[in-house]
Structure formats: structure tokens, C-alpha cells
Amino acid sequence: MAPQVGTVTHAGTAVPAAADAALQPWLQALHDLVPMPEKYRRFEVDRAGALALLGCRDLVLDALVAAGIPHSGSGGAVRFDYNDLANVALYSGAVTSVPFAGQRMMIRYASAAPHTWTAPRSWDVEWRLSCRDEECPGGQWRIALPAPQVFGGRIDELHCDQESVTEGGVLTVTGSRAVRLTGRISTAGRHTPLRSAVARRLFDDTLAELLDGRYRFQWMHPLLRLDRAAVEEARIMDCTVCSLRMRRQALAEGLTVRTRRGRFLGVLDAEHSWLEVLDEDDVWKPVDPVIALLSIRHDRAQEGFVDFCAGSVPSRFLPWTVAAGEPLAEHRCPVGDGAWDNTFSGTAAKGNS
């Protein structure tokens, strides 16, 4: 439920009882937060940024600071860690917050009729990548292209604004700070439940761990995802951590598996990673307890949706041929350290159900 926050002032005086009730979900979310370990903590978000991300009034942020949300500085110089803020928002239940609202919108499709989960879809896509260094004079790009054909979809058209060469699913651009790709992509889904009892147990066990709190779903710094000891100590998972951990467990059980990166397309688009198992019928199938968890957390799971996440392919998956934790692109230039930013949008083209 969405708390009504910051609606309690009369002539500048807070009404304590109402304020307490509005603050409670935020303070509970902070209480349950696993803060970013110091090594991966970046105090970079200022007060205005925090208010925008949380979608809350000043009194909520003040209460979070008073209750000990990790931060540096004070007053106008206060800075917060982006992931700490996002994780408080995710568990606040506040539909005014960007992370919670986004996650809720992303998983909304789980409450629609099951045939829509796999219906063929067509998307107008735009992918922009740019060097993080503003002084970049231009450099070399190697960009892995989406691979919808993995699940029976296709790239209908793809155009690169910059001069480029494509070979083996990799696009190369030379002498550019930024790259822009536009086009149309068709995606396909399928209902293919897991046959392997071992794979299904792995899915059920991981979902149970996430639901009962042995592990907590949280966003995290990209480098923390790959620090196995640190995430095990913190007992947190995101989709990358989950797929890498399940991969190790599945290999120990003798299963044939791989991980994959992709995007989850919809009104709101999100990066995603998942495990795939080569099942007893020789079909590669996604095993995705994270999407199942989110559907349960947001109370959006139609009957059968959790089972759907154990083996089936939603037509909202846009796969890449890149493993979890591996980069989708590489950039080399004289001034930058290789870091780049990107935005991706996939808008439903006409004819989608």
C-alpha cells in the first residue's frame, strides 16, 4: 500500500500521529536495509537527487537521516549512496518512489492473461551508448548486438548512426564518443515448463530463500555483484548474483547450464540476467526465481505465473549472447578508463497485445 507522506503540516507544525504513520514504512525499510559494504559505497547523491529518487518530502528524508541511513556530510553537503536509497525505496511500498514504481510497472504483465506472456511482440528500439568522459575525442567501440533469435525472435531492422562494421553479432565503431542504434525487433515467447526435477528444485529452493529472508533481493554496485565473498556475507542478491550462484549450484548437481544477459522490455525497461538449463528434452530453458519473487512481492502473480518462471520464456525478454556479469560493450579511448553509460528504450510497436 502506498503511504501518504508529507501531508501533515498545518501552519508549519507537523501532526505527530499522522507523521508517525506515514513514516513507518520508510523507517521499516531502513531498518531492514542491508547497506552497501563500505568498499562498494559511493556517497554521490545529493539531497535533491535523493528526494527525487525516493519521491518523498523533506520530512521523510530528515527522518531517514535521523534514523541512520548511511550518508556523508550534513546540511547542503549531505550525500547518499544511490543503491542504499534505491533499496529503501524498493521496500518502502511508496508508489511515489522511482525504483518501487518502476519495478511494479515492470511486473504488471504477470497479472494479465497467460497467453499474453508469450504472445509475439514487436518493438521500436533505441540504444544509445556514450563514453563517460566528456573530454572523449572518440574511440573504439565493440558492441554486442541483441540476439532475439535465441528465443525465436528476430532483428527486423537495425541502423547505426555512426559508420560501423558488424561481424558475428558484434558491431564495431571507430572514432566516436557515442553510438546510437535504432530499429525494430520482434520477440517471441513460449510455455516450456522444466522437466528436470533437479532444476525445478533449484528454482524452488532459491525462490524460498528469497521469500523467507535468508537472502534479500537488493540492487547493488555492479562490482559487488562479482564479489562472491562480499555478497555471501551480506546475504543479498540481484538477478546477476542469483544467476551466477544458481549456475554454481546447478553445475555441482551435474546440470548443463549457462547464464545470459538481456533486457526486460515493457512500459519500463530493465536490465536482467538469468540462468538457463539444458533440460531433459534438449531445450535450453530460463530458470528465473527473481521475476517470480517480484510478481509475488507486488501481488501481481496470476495463477501459474510462478511456474511460468521455471522454464518458460516471456516474449518481453530481449536476450543477448552475453553471460551474466559480462559487459554488453567495450570502449577504448585516449582519455577515458573504459567506463560508459547507456540508455535503452523499447516501445511496443503496433499490433502487440
Q: Is position 333 an interface residue for Zn ion (rule: CB under 5 A)?
A: yes
x/- site string to Zn ion, residues 70 to 109, per CB under 5 A? ----------------------------------------
Neighbours of 296 (CB within 10 A): 17
Stretch that binds Zn ion, among 13-21, 105-113, 129-137, 216-224 (CB under 5 A): 129-137
CB-nearer residue toward Zn ion: 207 or 333: 333
CB-nearer residue toward Zn ion: 298 or 331: 331
- Rounded to whole angstroms, the maximal C-alpha distance in the chain is 69
Q: Is position 136 an interface residue for Zn ion (rule: CB under 5 A)?
A: yes
CB-nearer residue toward Zn ion: 140 or 353: 140
Minimum distance from residue 340 beta carbon to Zn ion (Å):
7
Q: Which of 127, 336, 344, 346 binds Zn ion (CB under 5 A)?
A: 336
CB-nearer residue toward Zn ion: 157 or 337: 337
Q: Which of 131, 220, 270, 275 binds Zn ion (CB under 5 A)?
A: 131
Minimum distance from residue 177 beta carbon to Zn ion (Å):
6
Minimum distance from residue 135 beta carbon to Zn ion (Å):
8
Q: Which of 139, 189, 311, 319 binds Zn ion (CB under 5 A)?
A: 139
List of residues contacting Zn ion (CB under 5 A): 131, 136, 139, 333, 336
